[in-house]
């Protein structure tokens, strides 16, 4: 027996993977000198991690790992007391926004952006116009608009924007990504006026006493605007891909997602993969509107990556709207009426129950994973009914994105059917106070009920829904642990989870959602060397300080893809 094989044999419990997974020769790097949080229940912590050929080859005590894997070319990396965790897995976001937003203006409320009132919006858009210098008729697009945070106590209107921007269509996308505020030039550009009816499933806020659109459009009323908005050129988008990946890598993500992907993005990502432009893994889900046609023409859904792109991995169906925009679909009314002052308003679904049943059955019949957007409990009921109608198959890992206001009895159905709730605990901070006002304390406090779900045995992921909130998994861990609102109120103290549970929701349980738990999500032999080095240990730092932890280095398959400047 060679000395290398003898050394491997002595590792015993230090090596969880069988010898065939181990590469030949010494490790390229051995990390030690700080806490290593493996997120592996069988070995929660370790002194050292050896990496070779893009994979983790050893995890355990420093002496044993060094003896077995050190060689002439091995780098001994001293963590210097800093903490290593698995690479973060994005459970749900819209990666294309990070690509497009380089050309947009940020009109978000603090802490994401600078806007506190309507005058601040006009000023911020004005500063952007002076920098970008668009010609007459060229569009100005903003992101992060949130009327609920404005000190004015009302929504922005076209009349607020028109005096400063008479010649440029201005579209300020709602923070939910489910709507926008338009100025008059934008309404003219998309052909919407007083004679345009409000479509089914849409919300059009109109000027009091008239049919004239006031500015805010939501859901299906907004869809025609989105489809007509000018898109950056392919060369611009391809040029922005590196910067977009840097945004995710700087937050510790080694896997990102775009769900759902639209036709222009599909072509863009395919070209980027062909050119080898991806260094993070990107998972794409098909949009439900094109899904039947894709199946009809024999599109092959895949579980494999090609040059770091996995497309199409499944289908994303949007069942309802957003609770902060008051378009989520509930069984009981909002306490404050609808976005346009509607009485007994419960929101509306984005798909009919019949269409949803057809889509779910089609997906199951073709072994395609379903991700279903549901914020309100009525939207969750629709999926439960559709799953029953499809024969309640097992093992599908149907994922209910957001599951914001799921009821306890619905969580029992998640257990029975094998659904995965992908929660969005950032809502507790950004809109927790608003949800208490609009829905009452009982419903608001059961927002993203991760503690209850985990107590029932469910594997729960957690996400940022970027660009709805910033792509920052450590902030997401902080909100899951603390559930503190903007005002400092704890939104659902009984639903707070431990730091380890919150970390699992952004690593191993997010990997499980994508059928990738055998290759990602923990630090153990045989898995990809997707690793993150943090300034502090999220399991031991004061819980209120978790959001202050900084990503110092992100490692994708053994290669550093981000390092924080000193």
pTM of the full predicted structure?
0.92
| Predicted pLDDT of residue 552 | 98
Q: Residues near 394 by Cβ (< 8 Å), separated by ≥ 6?
A: 417, 418
Give the per-residue pLDDT at 345. 97
End-to-end CA distance of the chain: 46
> Pairing relation of β-strands 369-374 and 314-318?
parallel
Q: Are 234 and 263 in contact (CB under 8 A)?
A: no
Kind of pairing between the strands at 253-261 and 281-287: parallel
Is the separation of the CB atoms in 460 and 433 below 8 Å?
Answer: no
Going by DSSP bridges, is the β-strand pair 253-261/88-89 parallel, antiparallel, or unpaired?
parallel
Return the exposure string of 219-237: e unless at least 16 CB atoms fall within 10 Å of the residue's CB, then b: bbbbbbbbeebeebeeeeb
What is the CB neighbour count within 10 angstroms for residue 15? 23
- Residues 304-336: tens digit of each pLDDT: 999 999 999 999 999 999 999 999 999 999 999
* 21-62 per-position pLDDT tens digit: 345 789 999 999 999 999 999 999 999 999 999 999 999 999
How far is the CA of 524 from the CAs of 44, 281, 351, 384, 518, in angstroms?
A: 10, 19, 42, 36, 10
Q: What pLDDT is stored for residue 23 in this prediction?
A: 54
Q: CB of 46 within 8 A of CB of 36?
A: yes
Q: Is the pLDDT of residue 351 over 80?
A: yes
Backbone angles phi, psi at 528, to 5 degrees: -60, 145
Calculate mean pLDDT across residues 536-547: 98
What does each C-alpha distance from 148 to 446, 474, 548 come to in angstroms?
A: 21, 25, 26
Share of the chain above pLDDT 90, in %: 91
Give me the chain's average pLDDT, please.
Answer: 94
Superfamily of domain 1-87+521-566: Urease, subunit C, domain 1 (2.30.40.10)
CA dihedral 176, 178, 182, 186 (to 10 degrees): 130
DSSP state of 362: H
Assess whether the region 95-228 and the region 238-518 belong to the same CATH fold: no
Percent above pLDDT 70 for the chain: 96
Does the structure show a pLDDT above 60 at 211?
yes
The secondary structure of residue 545, as a DSSP letter, is: G
Would you mind telling me the total number of residues written for the chain in this entry? 566
Domain range annotation of the chain: 1-87+521-566, 95-228, 238-518
In 3D space, the residue among 91, 88, 90, 180 whose CA is nearest the CA of residue 373 turns out to be: 91
| Maximum alpha-carbon separation in the chain | 89
Handedness of CA 69, 75, 80, 84 (dihedral sign): negative
Beta bridge partners of 36: 46, 84
pLDDT digits (tens, 9 = 90+) for 545-558: 999 999 999 999 99
CATH of 238-518, one of 3.40.630.30, 3.20.20.140, 3.30.365.10, 3.30.420.40: 3.20.20.140
What architecture (CATH level 2) is domain 95-228? Answer: Roll (3.10)
Stretch 202-209: mean pLDDT: 95
SS3 label, residue 195: coil
């Amino acid at each position: 027996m060679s000395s290398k094989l003898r050394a491997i044999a002595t590792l015993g419990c230090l090596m969880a993977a069988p010898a065939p997974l181990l590469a030949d020769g010494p490790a390229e790097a051995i990390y030690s000198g700080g806490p290593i949080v493996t997120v592996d229940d069988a070995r929660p912590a370790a002194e050292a991690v050896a990496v070779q050929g893009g994979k983790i080859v050893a995890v355990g005590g420093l002496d044993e790992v060094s003896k077995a894997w050190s060689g002439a070319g091995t780098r001994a990396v001293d963590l210097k007391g800093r903490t290593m965790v698995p690479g973060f897995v994005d459970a749900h976001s819209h990666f294309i926004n990070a690509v497009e937003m380089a050309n947009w203006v940020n009109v978000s409320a603090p802490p994401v952006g600078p806007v506190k009132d309507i005058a601040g919006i006009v000023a911020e858009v004005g500063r952007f116009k002076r920098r970008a210098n668009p010609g007459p008729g060229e569009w100005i697009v903003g992101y992060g608009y949130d009327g609920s945070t404005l000190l004015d106590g009302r929504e922005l209107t076209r009349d607020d924007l028109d005096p400063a921007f008479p010649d440029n269509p201005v579209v300020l996308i709602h923070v939910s990504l489910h709507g926008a505020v338009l100025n008059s030039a934008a309404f003219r550009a998309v052909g919407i006026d007083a004679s345009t009816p409000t479509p089914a499933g849409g919300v059009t806020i109109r000027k009091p006493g008239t049919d004239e659109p006031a500015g805010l459009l939501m859901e299906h009323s907004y869809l025609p605007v989105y489809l007509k908005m000018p898109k950056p050129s392919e060369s611009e988008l391809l040029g922005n891909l590196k910067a977009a990946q840097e945004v995710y890598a700087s937050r510790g993500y080694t896997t990102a997602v775009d769900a759902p992907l639209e036709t222009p993005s599909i072509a863009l990502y395919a070209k980027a993969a062909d050119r080898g432009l991806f260094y993070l893994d990107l998972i794409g889900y098909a949009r439900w509107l094109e899904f039947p046609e894709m199946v009809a023409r024999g599109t092959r859904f895949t579980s494999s990556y090609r040059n770091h792109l996995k497309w199409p991995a499944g289908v994303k169906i949007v069942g309802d709207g957003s609770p902060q925009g008051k378009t989520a679909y509930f069984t009981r009314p909002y306490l404050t009426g609808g976005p346009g002052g509607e009485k007994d308003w419960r929101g509306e679904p984005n798909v009919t129950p019949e269409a949803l049943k057809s889509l779910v059955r089609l997906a199951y019949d073709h072994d395609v994973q379903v991700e279903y957007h549901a914020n309100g409990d009525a939207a969750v009921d629709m999926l439960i009914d559709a799953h029953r109608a499809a024969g309640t198959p097992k093992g599908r890992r149907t994922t209910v994105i957001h599951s914001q206001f799921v009821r306890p009895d619905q969580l029992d159905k998640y257990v029975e059917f094998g659904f995965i709730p992908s929660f969005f605990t950032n809502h507790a901070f950004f809109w927790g106070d608003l949800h208490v006002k609009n829905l009452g304390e009982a419903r608001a406090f059961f927002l993203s009920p991760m503690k209850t779900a985990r107590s029932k045995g469910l594997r729960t992921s957690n996400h940022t829904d970027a660009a709805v909130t910033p792509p920052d998994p450590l902030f997401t861990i902080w909100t899951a642990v603390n559930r503190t609102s903007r005002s400092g109120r704890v939104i659902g103290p009984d639903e707070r989870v431990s730091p380890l549970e919150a970390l699992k929701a952004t690593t191993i349980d997010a990997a499980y959602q994508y059928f990738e738990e055998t290759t990602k999500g923990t630090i153990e032999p045989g898995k990809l060397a997707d690793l993150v080095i943090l300034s502090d240990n999220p399991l031991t730092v004061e819980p209120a300080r978790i959001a202050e932890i900084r990503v110092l280095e992100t490692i994708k398959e053994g290669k550093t893809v981000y390092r924080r400047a000193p």
